[in-house]
Amino acid sequence: MFNLFAVSDFSVYVIIYVTYDIILSGNEPMRRRDLTQKQQKFLSYIRDYSRDNGVWPTYRDISDHFDFRSPNSVTQNLQALHRKGYLQRDDAGFHFEEEDGTPGKAVGIPIQGVIAAGHLQEAIDENLGTITLGTLFPQIEKIFAIRVSGNSMTGAEIMDGDYVLLIDDDIPNGGIGAILYNGETSLKRVFYDELGLRLEPANEDYDDILVRPDVFEEVRMLGRYVGHVNQNGIYKSAGYGS
């Protein structure tokens, strides 16, 4: 399960939610009620967007599409779709009901057999289970995703629009991670010194950011980088699990 929000070079975006393994309360699904024309357009937009992009649109995407003046309008529409039975809701946020009607079923890549990487041998065709995100990331319950806005980490092959995967863990000296400082966020390589932090970009066009908090300012480690996702696939950090 991933909580998804966007982070840029020190600009905060609104939180949205995307679920992977969906946990439901076990209650009977609500009976669906008729939607207004505007609610139908809203539902069609988020359904089409999630189908085409593999993730839900952000509040900003939705607000821009419908010309909403406030994120409140997005929330109100989501709540209306939930009340009328078109969306499910749990601790991770709003989501669609599973297509096959089986809540909580994890989608994975089927393992269909064994192939020799040495001498030729008889093909073995059998069902060996599935590869899921839990296979790739054993501590998946501690991992969440952040959408990147900006080009300061391109030298680490983290591009604008990618989704970085962060684990709720300390960031080692020189490691990549997300920092919250005085209400603002940034994804950088983190170095510690006696005065605070130095946030180093992976792009020569950007300068280091020196974080020198006083006693009234908050610095929080949001998470350690363990990989990223884009349209080309999932990339796992070599340091994951260390």
CA distance 137 to 238: 12
Structure tokens at 222: 């949001």
Strand partners, 90: 93
CA-nearest of 224, 141, 238 to 187 is 224
Residues 64-93, mean pLDDT to the nearest whole number: 85
Question: Vertex 10, ends 65 and 227: CA angle to 5°?
Answer: 85
What's the pLDDT tens digit per position in 9-49? Answer: 433 333 333 333 323 333 333 445 678 889 999 999 998 88
Q: What architecture does CATH give domain 35-91?
A: Orthogonal Bundle (1.10)
**pTM reported for the whole predicted model:** 0.55
Q: Domain-by-domain residue ranges, the chain?
A: 35-91, 140-236
The CATH number of domain 140-236, selected from 3.50.50.60, 2.130.10.10, 2.10.109.10, 3.40.50.620: 2.10.109.10
Q: Of 25-34, 49-58, 122-131, 189-198, which gets the smallest average pLDDT? A: 25-34
For 128, how many CA atoms within 13 A lie in the half-sphere containing its CB?
9
Q: Indicate which residues carry an active-site annotation.
A: 152, 188
Summarised one tens digit per residue, pLDDT across range 149-194 is: 899 999 999 999 999 999 988 999 999 999 988 778 899 999 998 8
Where is pLDDT greater, at 105 or 73?
A: 73
